[in-house]
């Protein structure tokens, strides 16, 4: 990945694509995140479609998920690794039911980014709380 924006967006895309069914809720949350979070303040939103298309291209490779995880790690400064993990959890939680494939991707991401287990648990709990419905 060329920059931290692309790495964060690819993180969100890959978790949404993990179950081969990108839902409207997932696409909506990705757009909301890119449009509102401070980490994307200096991001050119016109590039979003191309960045998402690059994620789709990556998935055509035999080892697309593994390549994506490595590229995400390389594109992120260490201080944004927990942010990437939190964004992945938020996108996964946007669906009422999180697929096993999405959970597996989140696990692989946690390992790739060396997220502390206690920090990961707190991030996951926060995502569940934010997206819980009555």
Question: DSSP secondary-structure letter at 66?
Answer: H
Render pLDDT for 27-54 as a digit per residue (tens, 0 to 9). 889 999 999 999 999 999 899 999 999 9
Tell me what pLDDT residue 1 has: 58
The structural domains of the chain, with segments of one domain joined by +, span: 4-131
- DSSP summary character for residue 128: H
How many CB atoms lie under 10 A from the CB of residue 95? 18
pLDDT at 36: 95
Q: Indicate if the pLDDT at residue 55 is higher than 80.
A: yes
Block residue for tokens 């419905």: 133
pLDDT for the residue numbered 127: 93
Whole-number pLDDT of residue 67: 93
Task: Provide the 8-state DSSP code for 29.
Answer: H
Distance CA 71, CA 92 (A): 20
Name the DSSP letter for residue 115.
Answer: -
Q: What is the mean pLDDT of the chain?
A: 92
How many Å is the maximal CA-CA distance in the chain?
41
- Topology of the domain comprising 4-131: TerB-like (1.10.3680)
pLDDT in tens, 80-124: 999 999 999 999 998 778 889 999 999 999 999 999 999 999 999
Q: Looking at residue 87, what is its pLDDT?
A: 97
What CA–CA distances, in Å, run from 5 to 66, 92, 109, 129, 131? 19, 19, 17, 26, 24
Contact 55, 16 (CB under 8 A): no
């Amino acid at each position: 990945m060329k920059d931290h924006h692309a790495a964060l967006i690819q993180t969100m895309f890959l978790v949404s694509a993990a179950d081969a069914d990108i839902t409207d809720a997932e696409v909506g949350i990705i757009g909301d995140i890119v449009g509102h979070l401070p980490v994307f303040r200096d991001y050119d939103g016109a590039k979003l479609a191309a960045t998402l298309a690059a994620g789709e291209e990556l998935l055509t490779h035999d080892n697309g998920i593994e390549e994506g995880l490595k590229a995400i790690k390389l594109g992120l400064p260490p201080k944004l690794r927990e942010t990437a993990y939190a964004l992945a959890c938020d996108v996964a939680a946007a669906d009422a039911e999180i697929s096993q494939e999405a959970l597996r991707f989140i696990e692989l991401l946690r390992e790739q980014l060396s997220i502390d287990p206690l920090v990961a648990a707190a991030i996951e709990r926060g995502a569940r709380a934010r997206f819980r419905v009555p």
